[in-house]
């Protein structure tokens, strides 16, 4: 794993996001997780930041990534916790515990979907939440995070 530092942001993707591009493309689009990771790396670089992209289908591993971000003094976190957004008090607590600026992102508009998706525990722990912009939401999340931490766009 890459060494994190104050110029690193963690981009964490939860369950089933490894299936982007093939899982319900009418909802989630045709872009793959590798496309998300390239977008995040390029966007972070515009602000002099590095994106450390990770994906796990396991809640505990996502929590470990959050704790690692704290231990390595990462500048921020962008998280798409997938279905765990709506169920995981443990992810909420981990985000709150580390006190790292965090943005939640969702590829689809969770508020226009099933009612059980309308509540997000991770959004309650984040300073901002984006939903419905497709994978471009990650670019917007990193731009917003960069503004929050005072990282300026490089020319």
Query: Is 1 within the bounds of a domain?
Result: no
Ranges 2-6, 47-51, 76-80, 82-86: which has the least confidence:
2-6
Query: Is 114 within the bounds of a domain?
Result: yes
Query: Is 32 within the bounds of a domain?
Result: yes
Question: What are 95-132's pLDDT values in tens digits?
Answer: 999 999 999 999 987 876 667 666 789 999 999 999 99
Query: Is 25 within the bounds of a domain?
Result: yes
CB 39 within 8 A of CB 140: no
Query: Is 123 within the bounds of a domain?
Result: yes
Strand partners, 12: 54, 79
Q: How confident is the model at residue 47 (pLDDT cuts 50, 70, 90)?
A: very high
Query: Is 3 within the bounds of a domain?
Result: no
Q: What is the 3-state secondary structure (H, E, C) of 48-101?
A: CCEEEEEECCCHHHHHHHHHHHHHCCCCEEEEECHHHHHCCHHHHHHHHHHCCC
CB 112 within 8 A of CB 42: no
Question: What are 53-101's pLDDT values in tens digits?
Answer: 999 999 999 999 999 999 999 999 999 999 899 889 999 999 999 999 9
Q: Looking at the predicted structure, is the pLDDT value of residue 134 above 70? A: yes
pTM for this one? Answer: 0.92
pLDDT of residue 1: 44
**Tokens standing for residue 67:** 């704790």
* Secondary structure letter of residue 37 according to DSSP: H
Query: Is 127 within the bounds of a domain?
Result: yes
pLDDT of residue 87: 86
Question: What domain count does the chain have?
Answer: 1
- Name the residues annotated as catalytic: 28, 106
CB 108 within 8 A of CB 28: yes
pLDDT of residue 117: 62
User: Other CB atoms closer than 10 Å to residue 3's CB: what's the count?
Assistant: 8
pLDDT of residue 109: 78
> Which residues span the domain enclosing 117?
8-149
- The CA–CA distances, whole Å, from 150 to 6, 137, 141 equal 12, 20, 14
Query: Is 58 within the bounds of a domain?
Result: yes
CATH number at residue 64: 3.40.50.9100
Structural element, H or E, at residue 112: none
Three-class SS of residue 16? Answer: coil
pLDDT of residue 99: 96
């Amino acid at each position: 794993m890459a060494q994190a530092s104050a110029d690193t942001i963690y981009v964490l993707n939860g369950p089933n996001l490894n299936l982007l591009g093939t899982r319900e493309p009418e909802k989630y689009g045709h872009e793959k997780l590798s496309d998300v990771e390239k977008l995040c790396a390029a966007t972070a670089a515009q602000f002099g930041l590095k994106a450390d992209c990770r994906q796990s289908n396991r809640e505990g591993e996502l929590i470990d990534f959050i704790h690692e971000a704290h231990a390595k003094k990462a500048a921020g976190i962008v998280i798409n916790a997938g279905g765990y957004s709506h169920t995981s008090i443990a992810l909420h607590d981990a985000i709150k515990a580390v006190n790292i600026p965090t943005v939640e992102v969702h590829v689809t508009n969770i508020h226009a979907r099933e009612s059980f998706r309308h509540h997000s525990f991770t959004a309650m722990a984040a300073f901002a939440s984006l939903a419905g912009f497709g994978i471009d939401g990650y670019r917007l999340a990193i731009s917003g995070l960069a503004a929050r931490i005072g990282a300026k766009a490089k020319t």
